[in-house]
Amino acid sequence: MWGRRVRKKEPPADRVVGERCVTPHQWRGKRKSLKILIADDSLVSRHLLDATLRKWGYDVAVARDGSEAWDILQRDDAPPVAILDWMMPGMTGPEVCRLVRQQAREPYTYILLLTSKSLKEDLIEGMESGADDYIIKPFDQHELKVRLRAGTRLVDLQAELLSAREALREQATKDSLTRLWNRSSILDALQRELSRGQRERTPIGVILLDLDHFKLINDTYGHFAGDAVLREAARRLSMSIRPYDSLGRYGGEEFLIVFPGCDENTAVAQAERLRVDLCSEPMLLTETAITLTASFGATAALPGYDNSSEVLIRRADEALYRAKRLGRNRVEMLIDQSGAPSGTSLLGTPLADAPA
């Protein structure tokens, strides 16, 4: 729907918020060749395993002792499957295993112990260290193949669970139209920042903004055009805030932004910048270009005042209401009146009131 002039680059899906989403490792979604770590101090055994696994189409990472294996397993791109020799210098296979399980990282690492020990007690000890399976040296190729297949099935299943969980989390916390935080998530973010501000005695800036005459856009260009305008407004806002600020869709065409570390004056300055960023370039619809404006209510939680989220939002809402009353496309600020400066009218540079 947007012309090329406005859409300079795609909005970064999760940059709009102060917190990053965790996604499963990329290979999970489109596995070409699964990576397996081999850790063995015997050169011959390493080469044999390496050649066998590559022949079966796996990608291979190699460690010559337990410490090296542990290093590799802690990397961001750690192989999801590890074949660890039992006896190795530095750390034994079961010791590495124990550390991996203690760390309990996601995604899961499937561990197969490779051992020449065949006593039942040894094997029980190995499994108790957190190994998923074991194979006795010298290994039988067919046996290794089927055991690895069982391992990769489990790894795949876990990856599916992780991405399903991620999708659910996304659904529960994000607004589906704009991809910003939804109402309850942005309120959570506000609550979190207020608690932190209280602990660290730092201010928190809060802005509530509402698009001006948005109903007119729907009535003139239709609901789909209205949706596109909302998405573009969200994109522009998200491009204008810092990574640690939080931005959410508070209601229909209302947005709430939380600015950690900002007092009322900084919040006003931020709001003024956002106001300009939002309306400085027209938004291009297929048939026309419209200039969108918004009204802003700013406030701040200052150390030593009643800074509940309800109070702050009510104050930001009052300031926003005043911005609307005074002509729209402007910033108004209100702070706690108990001993502090009372409601102050600020900035506000009325441009064209209604969208063109």
Q: Which is nearer to ligand GH3, 113 or 230 (CB)?
A: 230
Grouping H, G, I as helix, E, B as strand and the rest as coil, residue 228 is helix
Binding flag, residue 214, Mg ion (CB under 5 A): yes
Q: Which is nearer to Mg ion, 58 or 255 (CB)?
A: 255
Residue 161 has phi, psi (to 5 degrees) of -60, -40
CA distance 82 to 45: 15
Residue 257 CB, shortest distance to Mg ion, in Å, is 15
Q: Which is nearer to ligand GH3, 7 or 215 (CB)?
A: 215
The CA-based angle 49-50-53, given to 5 degrees, is 80
Footprint on this chain of ligand GH3 (rule: CB under 6 A): 177, 210-215, 218, 223, 226-227, 230, 252-253, 324, 328
CA distance 109 to 97: 9
Q: Are 208 and 256 in contact (CB under 8 A)?
A: yes
Which of the choices ligand GH3, Mg ion, none does residue 177 contact, using the CB cut-off of 5 to 8 A by kind?
Answer: ligand GH3
Q: Which is nearer to Mg ion, 253 or 336 (CB)?
A: 253
Binding flag, residue 108, Mg ion (CB under 5 A): no
Which of the choices Mg ion, ligand GH3, none does residue 292 contact, using the CB cut-off of 5 to 8 A by kind?
Answer: none
Which of the choices ligand GH3, Mg ion, none does residue 25 contact, using the CB cut-off of 5 to 8 A by kind?
Answer: none
Q: Which is nearer to Mg ion, 175 or 254 (CB)?
A: 254
The b-or-e profile of 228-257 (16+ CB within 10 A means b, else e) is bbbbbbbbbbbebbeeebbbbbbeebbbbb
Binding track over 152-191 against Mg ion, x by CB under 5 A:
----------------------------------------
Segments in the chain forming alpha helices (H): 26-29, 43-55, 66-74, 93-103, 120-128, 141-173, 183-200, 214-221, 223-240, 264-279, 309-325
Q: Which is nearer to ligand GH3, 204 or 237 (CB)?
A: 237
Which of the choices Mg ion, ligand GH3, none does residue 137 contact, using the CB cut-off of 5 to 8 A by kind?
Answer: none
Which of the choices Mg ion, ligand GH3, none does residue 95 contact, using the CB cut-off of 5 to 8 A by kind?
Answer: none
CA distance 212 to 152: 54
Residue 324 CB, shortest distance to ligand GH3, in Å, is 5
Q: Are 173 and 181 in contact (CB under 8 A)?
A: yes
Q: Which two tokens stand for residue 164?
A: 């399903």
Which of the choices Mg ion, ligand GH3, none does residue 232 contact, using the CB cut-off of 5 to 8 A by kind?
Answer: none
Q: Which is nearer to ligand GH3, 3 or 252 (CB)?
A: 252
Residue 300 CB, shortest distance to ligand GH3, in Å, is 23
Q: Which is nearer to Mg ion, 245 or 253 (CB)?
A: 253
Residue 181 CB, shortest distance to Mg ion, in Å, is 18
Q: Which two tokens stand for residue 96?
A: 């590495």
Which of the choices ligand GH3, Mg ion, none does residue 266 contact, using the CB cut-off of 5 to 8 A by kind?
Answer: none
CA distance 27 to 59: 12
Binding flag, residue 210, Mg ion (CB under 5 A): yes
Q: Which is nearer to ligand GH3, 169 or 215 (CB)?
A: 215
CA distance 140 to 328: 77
CA distance 263 to 265: 6
Grouping H, G, I as helix, E, B as strand and the rest as coil, residue 243 is coil
Binding track over 253-282 against Mg ion, x by CB under 5 A:
xx----------------------------
Residue 284 CB, shortest distance to ligand GH3, in Å, is 17
Residue 17 CB, shortest distance to ligand GH3, in Å, is 19
Helix (H) or strand (E) holding 111: strand 110-115
